[in-house]
Amino acid sequence: MHGLWNETYDGATVAFIVVGAACVFVMIPGLGFLYSGLARRKSALALIWAVIMATLVGMVQWYFWGFSLAFSHTAPNSKFIGDLDSFGFRNVYGKTSDDAVYPELAYAIFQGMFMCVTLSIIAGATAERGRLFPHMVFLFVFATVVYCPIAYWVWAPGGWCYQWGVLDWAGGGPVEILSAVGGFVYSIFLGRRKESLLINFRPHNVSLVTLGTILLWFGWLLFNSATSLTPSLKSVYAFMNTNLSAATGGMTWCLLDFRLERKWSTVGLCSGIICGLVAATPSSGCITLYGSLIQGIIAGLICNFATKLKYYLKVDDAMDILAEHGIAGVVGLMFNALFGADWVVGLDGSTKHHGGWITHNYKQMYIQFAYVWVVIGYSAACTAVICFVLDLIPFTKLRVSEEAEARGLDEDQIGEFAYDYVEVRRDYWQWGTDTDNSNEIRLERVDGQHDTEQSTTNTEESRNLNGEKQIVSDDQQTANGHDQEQVTTPKDSTHST
């Protein structure tokens, strides 16, 4: 007996979801390059490793029970979290209803990429002083205890936020605020980097920062537009909203930096673009196009000044995760309350919502406001508990030693380096001698000694010859002096002598 799958799907929709998932995955190396460029070169490779490994941890967790907890359709009466009926993707294959046009497996893969991006953002909190293995343990627990419940609240039909009417298109809460608060609290437990090691600190490779930003932007376009799950007018509208918000965000941040430095900062440009993209995450499928234009300006303005929060709170948020992801995510969620429109939400032909203020749904403001603070509070509390417990366990201490921090995480945690010339500062002789080329080295040393001896001999002969010439010259001068005694005065003679 041969098992043949008999369900049929809309090919364009399946392709749209799968390509969307692949493009979201591109954001992960983009984050790695961004973080690596913003750090110093002695910890550049460690951040790329942390971002990629965070993705692997997320994939495994999502397969085990992450998807089941976040999107279980067998727990319709639960308002806070799903069940384990789909553990290990059990029965996650085809349609979940008769009118579905794509398999549940495609949806699970797409949503899994969202969680991987969230964990990768948090990985930036380890910058230059965080141990990598404990952080991976933290991310696995964080994904289970923090991400999955909040994703269920807002995206699962049984979730209390979903039923309350919260507008969060592609993850202002589960992705942006969650990663920002999680990373910020993790930075608190890590502590500040040593001030003596931060003299003249600046991003070591702005080209990597720019490359990472462009990869993020590319992936973000499908991150937001493919959330519609069908190639429709709404997906195209979300695509355009994302671009507008990113464009005005980048311009605004760049202008704000120019007023201080009188230079057009590339890092500032990239930071503003990212803020605009983050703000578009919850709003690109909800607000009008002109709303996105304004949103990018407001996000760039607020987030630029929000980078000062870490100094006031004395928290070493090395990658500005709180300002660029958390604050920008809040801006996007609140713009849903102001510029959300019922006709924009309904562009997919199936979703009904009253929108925000511009369509006279004034209560949406307090709904969005309450949602923001619940997500912040829950994620901060859970992250603090996880960090506190892990730091008590000897082999999961969160921070490296001061000596390891001075050497850099590439040497201490990875054992490899992003740049070969970094190793010039290290002691080559600790790696051992090159026995394969020892004869050549010995011959080079003998030739060098011979050249040195020959050079020394030539120098001595030259000195002897110059000495003889000097003696002859002195004798000539003495003879001339005697000849002049007959024609000079005693005073002149004395001066000549």
Domain ranges of the chain: 9-423
Choose among 396, 359, 336, 415: nearest CA to 138. Answer: 396
C-alpha 166/C-alpha 333 separation (Å) is 9
Distances in Å between the Cα of 305 and the Cα atoms of 150, 177, 257, 272, 311 are 28, 18, 10, 12, 11
Q: What is the pLDDT of residue 211?
A: 98
Contact call for residues 319 and 331 (beta carbons, < 8 A): no
With DSSP H G I counted as helix, E B as strand and the rest as coil, what are the percentages for the chain, rounded to 5?
A: 75, 0, 25
Beta-carbon contacts of 138 under 8 Å, excluding residues fewer than 6 positions away, are 186, 386, 387, 390, 398
> Which amino acid is present at 31?
L
- C-alpha angle 124/125/129, rounded to 5°? 105
Cβ atoms within 10 Å, residue 62: 25
In DSSP terms, 287 is beta-bridged to 340
Distances in Å between the Cα of 328 and the Cα atoms of 180, 333, 390, 457 are 10, 9, 30, 75
Q: Phi first, then psi: give them for residue 97, nearest 5 degrees.
A: -155, 165
Contact call for residues 323 and 312 (beta carbons, < 8 A): no
Q: What is the pLDDT of residue 439?
A: 55
C-alpha 286/C-alpha 361 separation (Å) is 13
What's the token pair of residue 26?
Answer: 């591109």
C-alpha 472/C-alpha 449 separation (Å) is 35
What's the token pair of residue 479?
Answer: 């003879």
Distances in Å between the Cα of 440 and the Cα atoms of 435, 437, 450 are 10, 5, 15
Q: What is the pLDDT of residue 470?
A: 46
SS3 382: helix
Q: What is the pLDDT of residue 199?
A: 58
Helix axes of 364-392 and 178-190: crossing angle, nearest 10 degrees: 30
**Ramachandran quadrant class, 305 (left: phi over 0; alpha: psi -120 to 50; beta: rest):** alpha
Q: Phi first, then psi: give them for residue 130, nearest 5 degrees.
A: -100, 135
**HSE-CB for 67 with a 13 A CA cutoff:** 23
Beta-carbon contacts of 213 under 8 Å, excluding residues fewer than 6 positions away, are 30, 34, 270, 273, 274
pLDDT tens for each residue of the chain, 497 residues long: 477 888 999 999 999 999 999 999 999 999 999 999 999 999 999 999 999 999 999 999 999 999 999 998 888 888 999 999 999 999 999 998 889 999 999 999 999 999 999 999 999 999 999 999 999 999 999 999 999 999 999 999 999 999 999 999 999 999 999 999 999 999 999 999 886 656 557 889 999 999 999 999 999 999 999 999 999 999 999 999 999 999 999 999 999 999 888 999 999 999 999 999 999 999 999 999 999 999 999 999 999 999 999 999 999 999 999 999 999 999 999 999 999 999 999 999 999 999 999 999 999 999 999 999 999 999 999 999 999 999 999 899 999 999 999 999 999 999 998 886 544 455 545 555 555 555 554 555 545 554 544 554 554 545 454 544 444 444 444 444 444 434 333 334 333 32
Choose among 160, 280, 344, 238: nearest CA to 354. Answer: 344
Q: What is the pLDDT of residue 3?
A: 76
> Which amino acid is present at 366?
Y
Distances in Å between the Cα of 277 and the Cα atoms of 29, 172, 210, 216 are 17, 11, 15, 9
Choose among 437, 200, 179: nearest CA to 320. Answer: 179
What's the token pair of residue 316?
Answer: 């070493």
What's the token pair of residue 218?
Answer: 């590319």
Q: What is the pLDDT of residue 489?
A: 38
Distances in Å between the Cα of 441 and the Cα atoms of 146, 433, 445, 452 are 60, 10, 6, 16
Choose among 182, 191, 187: nearest CA to 380. Answer: 182
> Which amino acid is present at 474?
D
Q: What is the pLDDT of residue 396?
A: 95
In DSSP terms, 433 is beta-bridged to none
Q: 9-423, what's its fold? A: Ammonium transporter fold (1.10.3430)
Beta-carbon contacts of 218 under 8 Å, excluding residues fewer than 6 positions away, are 23, 26, 30
Helix axes of 132-142 and 364-392: crossing angle, nearest 10 degrees: 140
